[in-house]
Amino acid sequence: MKINGKDLSRTYYRRSEGSNIFTAVKDVNIELSPGELLEITGRSGSGKSTVLNMLAGLLTPSSGTVLYDDLDIYGLEDKERSAFRNEHTGVIPQGQTALSSITVLENVLLPARLYNREASEDDAMELLSFVGIEGLKDVYPDQLSGGEMRRLSIARALINRPSVLLADEPTGDLDDENTKVVLSLLRNTADKGTAVLLVTHEEDAREYADRVLKMNGGILKEY
């Protein structure tokens, strides 16, 4: 599935001396195709997460549209958009995002179970071994390291075999070794035909990406 963000802008209400309206993202156009790993880099606060969340259907743009093929996802009701995201979009949010009251395996299966999808434990185990933490399946997330937690979010984002994967700083606080593991996992995913968007500060990520864009003060440019 091809994603197309057209003229995306987003303002936030933020108390300040001049205007209280702060434009975090301005007129961004972005295309993401199947099999492609697209990297967005840029300084902290430049608007990367804002763009990613708008593409994920999690943040309504102040103006502009987000198309999945020809479908305008913000034209959908919450219920349909949620179901659509569940089926087509894998999201790896910024930060630690495992649910603490269920085990690693249950976390991975969660997106499938939410909609009573067929995903079997075998599929989940396969993903866990793909990200290299199959031995931790019955552990609760509070016993995982930062790197294991990241790998868990990747496995979870892939359980419904989404055609789009949106990853927000998936290597955030990882050491070099783990960073490499996560980046090559994303590369592998793209190679299997998924459209992958990677938001990162990581210099090394460039080697894995097909294309790199840079966010600067809410404006997106070719790197």
Ligand X SMILES: Nc1ncnc2c1ncn2[C@@H]1O[C@H](COP(=O)(O)OP(=O)(O)OP(=O)(O)O)[C@@H](O)[C@H]1O
From 3, 24, 73, 128, residue interacting with ligand X (rule: CB under 6 A) = 24
User: CB of 223 within 8 A of CB of 212?
Assistant: yes
Tokens encoding 189: 């995913």
What is the nearest approach in angstroms of other proteins to the Cβ of residue 205? 18
- Using alpha carbons only, give the angle 134, 126, 175 rounded to the nearest 5 degrees: 50
Question: Binding to other proteins by residue 4, rule CB under 8 A?
Answer: no
Tokens encoding 83: 């179901």
Q: In what order do the strands lie in the sheet with 37-42?
A: 89-92, 164-168, 195-199, 37-42, 211-216, 219-222
Binding piece for other proteins, criterion CB under 8 A, among 80-88, 131-139, 183-191, 211-219: 80-88
Question: Binding to other proteins by residue 164, rule CB under 8 A?
Answer: no
Handedness of CA 105, 111, 117, 123 (dihedral sign): negative
What is the nearest approach in angstroms of Mg ion to the Cβ of residue 51? 9
In the complex with Mg ion, the residue whose CB is nearer, 50 or 89, is: 50
Kindly list the residues in this chain that would bind other proteins in the complex (CB under 8 A): 49-50, 53-54, 56, 58-60, 78-79, 82-87, 89, 91, 93-97, 99-102, 106, 110-111, 113-116, 140, 156, 168-169, 172
